[in-house]
Amino acid sequence: MNFNLSDEQQMLRDMLESFLRDRFPFEARRAQVRSTATESAIWSAFANELQILGTSLPENVGGLGGGPTENMIVMEELGKALSIEPWLSTIIMAGALLRDAGAKAQETMAAVVDGTAIVVPAFDYFPGSFGKDDAGVSIAANDGGFRLSGKIPVVRDAARATHFVVLAKDAGGGQALVIVAADAPGLELKTYQLVDGVGCADLSLNGVEVEESAIVARGEEAADRMAEAFNAGVVGLCAEALGIQRMLLQWTVEYAKQRQQFGRPIGEFQVLQHRMARMLIKVEETVSMTYLATAHLENRTSERAKIASAAKVMIDQAGLFVGQQAVQIHGGMGMSKELPIADYLSRLNVIAQQLGSTDFHFGRYEASSFEKKAALPVTA
């Protein structure tokens, strides 16, 4: 498959790779994870120095009119740096939810481009997950506006958010996507961290009031926007996993050349050469599937949901293999905090569950292949 980058896209890759390498070494990442600060110098630099927050967003909100390929480039570089910046939530998924919506949505995305807003999707794709059967938000008319009540578990990047896009259902079962300010009265967050260091929160909406202009979409349009955001998010995760795998392979090969055993580098042992060759094959499979899924998003093909799930399944499996081999070849060093290997493997483990587990995407691929009636994330 021919997937050559344009000069502008290659410049974006080179610029971001250099920036993250020089300004965001791994110890800085660990310090950011330990910090309770809700602001990030890296995100501020994305907005003001690199001016890349609008790279894949439409021109009518101040963006540069890019798309899935630009998001793939950024997510791969963020994966290499194991960055916890909310590009997936804010640029990819919220961008898909709010694209070409009403005036409120356009105003909010314009604020994302200039770095003054961070928008996070807040809905549970898998009702009842994590044992929280009471999850879900209801919407009801109230004095010319609307009132939202309910709970949403495990919202990534919630502590950083200035706005949420909430999925709510009315008494008749109709769906609506609603923009809710993070400081809205009645909105409560219970924050915590996942094993990969990313901040999450369980949201409680206790009679949160919003105006009519906060409604992004209703009914089938809301379903279509959610499915589009889901597909784009899955492909973004694939690109992030690719960046992580590239780094694990690079470090493992370098370590095998330096580590001495029985008077020779362990990289000279045939059994380890075979392992590293298999790691390389898995990384190249990840490259191909990420590019394929990105191309289907870029061209808006009818099979983009099916291909996104196929990519997620293969990349989840490849990522765990590459991560486990990296740890084993590094030996005890691979498990220690002296090297970043274990942190990168932890992130791959989370990616394997994020936006649907491997088993979920097996089922989604099957449903897409045989045209079975399926749940919302499968249908677009």
Position 2 scores a pLDDT of 62
Position 124 scores a pLDDT of 62
Cα–Cα distances in angstroms (integers) from residue 5 to residues 56, 138, 254, in the given order: 15, 44, 28
* Token duo for residue 285: 């499979």
Q: Give the DSSP letter of residue 186.
A: T
Position 1 scores a pLDDT of 54
What are the boundaries of each domain within the chain? 7-116, 121-218, 221-378
C-alpha 2 chain-centroid distance: 25
User: Would you report the helix, strand and coil content of the chain in percent, each value rounded to 5?
Assistant: 55, 15, 25
Contact 140, 146 (CB under 8 A): yes
Position 255 scores a pLDDT of 94
Position 13 scores a pLDDT of 96
Q: Which CATH number is correct for 221-378, 3.40.50.300, 2.60.40.10, 1.50.10.150, 1.20.140.10? A: 1.20.140.10
Which stretches of the chain score pLDDT less than 70? Answer: 1-2, 124-135, 370-380
Position 40 scores a pLDDT of 86
In the CATH scheme, what is the code of domain 7-116? 1.10.540.10
Query: 121-218, what's its fold?
Result: Butyryl-CoA Dehydrogenase, subunit A; domain 2 (2.40.110)
Position 126 scores a pLDDT of 52
**Distance between CA atoms of residues 323 and 319, nearest Å:** 6
pLDDT tens for 258-305 read: 988 898 998 889 999 999 999 999 999 999 999 999 999 988 888 999
Where would I find the beta strands (DSSP E) of 89-233? 119-122, 136-142, 145-156, 163-169, 175-181, 187-193, 199-210, 215-218
